Amino acid sequence: MTTMTIAKAINEGLRASLGADETTLLMGEDIGALGGVYRVTDGLQQEFGEDRVVDSPLAESGIIGTSIGLAMRGYRPVCEIQFDGFVFPGFNQITTQLAKYHARTSGNVTLPVTIRIPYGGGIGSVEHHSESPEALFAHTAGLRIITPSNAHDAYWMTRQAIECPDPVIVFEPKKRYWLKGEVDTQDPGASADPFSAHVVREGTDATIVAYGPLVPVALAAANAAAEEGRSVEVLDLRSISPIDFDAIEASVRKTGRLVVAHEAPTFGGIGGEIASRISERAFLSLEAPVIRVGGFHMPYPVAKVEEHYLPDIDRILDALDKTFSY
Q: Are residues 241 and 164 in the same domain?
A: no
Whether 99 shows a pLDDT value over 70: the answer reads yes
Please tell me the predicted confidence (pLDDT) of residue 79: 97
**Which residues span the domain enclosing 228?**
198-324
- The predicted-structure confidence for 274-289, as pLDDT tens digits, reads as follows 999 999 999 999 999 9
> What does the pLDDT average to over 137-146?
97
Please tell me the predicted confidence (pLDDT) of residue 153: 95
- The answer to whether 102 and 166 are in contact (CB under 8 A) is yes
What sign results for the dihedral spanned by CA atoms 86, 90, 67, 153? positive
245-255 and 270-281 are packed helices; what angle lies between their axes, rounded to 10 degrees? 60
Please tell me the predicted confidence (pLDDT) of residue 287: 96
Could you tell me the pTM of the whole model?
Answer: 0.96
- The predicted-structure confidence for 145-172, as pLDDT tens digits, reads as follows 999 999 999 999 999 999 999 999 999 9
List CB contacts of 42: < 8 A, sequence separation 6 or more: 11, 35, 36
Mean pLDDT of the chain: 96
Please tell me the predicted confidence (pLDDT) of residue 187: 75
Q: Are residues 173 and 282 in the same domain?
A: no
- Omega before 194 cis (within 30°)? no
b/e map of 285-315 (b: 16 or more CB within 10 Å)? Answer: ebeeebbbbbbeeeebbebeebeebbbbbeb
Domain boundary among 192, 225, 259: 192
Please tell me the predicted confidence (pLDDT) of residue 148: 97
**Number of residues written out for the chain:** 326
Among 6, 60, 50, 51, CA closest to 28: 60
Whether 255 shows a pLDDT value over 90: the answer reads yes
Please tell me the predicted confidence (pLDDT) of residue 190: 53
Q: Are residues 265 and 173 in the same domain?
A: no
Name the band, by pLDDT with cuts 50, 70 and 90, for residue 186.
confident
Q: Are residues 98 and 135 in the same domain?
A: yes
List CB contacts of 233: < 8 A, sequence separation 6 or more: 199, 201, 202, 203, 204, 206, 207, 208, 222, 251, 254, 255
Q: Are residues 258 and 273 in the same domain?
A: yes
Task: Label the pairing between strands 168-173 and 114-119.
Answer: parallel
How far is 223 from 313, CA to CA, in rounded Å? 10
Q: For the chain, what is the domain count?
A: 2
Please tell me the predicted confidence (pLDDT) of residue 191: 58
Whether 36 shows a pLDDT value over 80: the answer reads yes
How far is 262 from 214, CA to CA, in rounded Å? 6
b/e map of 246-271 (b: 16 or more CB within 10 Å)? Answer: ebbbbbbeebbbbbbbbbbbbeebbb
Q: Are residues 273 and 289 in the same domain?
A: yes
Please tell me the predicted confidence (pLDDT) of residue 192: 77
Whether 51 shows a pLDDT value over 70: the answer reads yes
Q: Are residues 98 and 182 in the same domain?
A: yes
Q: Are residues 260 and 131 in the same domain?
A: no
Please tell me the predicted confidence (pLDDT) of residue 310: 96
308 catalytic? Reply is no
Domain boundary among 162, 192, 222: 192
Q: Are residues 31 and 135 in the same domain?
A: yes
> What does the pLDDT average to over 62-84?
97
> What does the pLDDT average to over 290-317?
95
How far is 280 from 249, CA to CA, in rounded Å? 10
- The predicted-structure confidence for 203-240, as pLDDT tens digits, reads as follows 999 999 999 999 999 999 999 999 999 999 999 999 99
Q: Are residues 247 and 213 in the same domain?
A: yes
Percent of the residues in the chain that have a pLDDT greater than 70, as a whole number? 99
Name the band, by pLDDT with cuts 50, 70 and 90, for residue 10.
very high
> What does the pLDDT average to over 9-37?
97
Count other C-beta atoms under 10 Å from residue 316's C-beta.
25
How far is 97 from 118, CA to CA, in rounded Å? 22
Name the band, by pLDDT with cuts 50, 70 and 90, for residue 188.
low
Q: Of 102, 128, 129, 152, which is the active-site residue?
A: 129
How far is 163 from 105, CA to CA, in rounded Å? 21
Q: Are residues 170 and 33 in the same domain?
A: yes
Domain boundary among 145, 160, 192: 192
Residue 207 belongs to domain with CATH number? 3.40.50.920
Q: Are residues 217 and 286 in the same domain?
A: yes
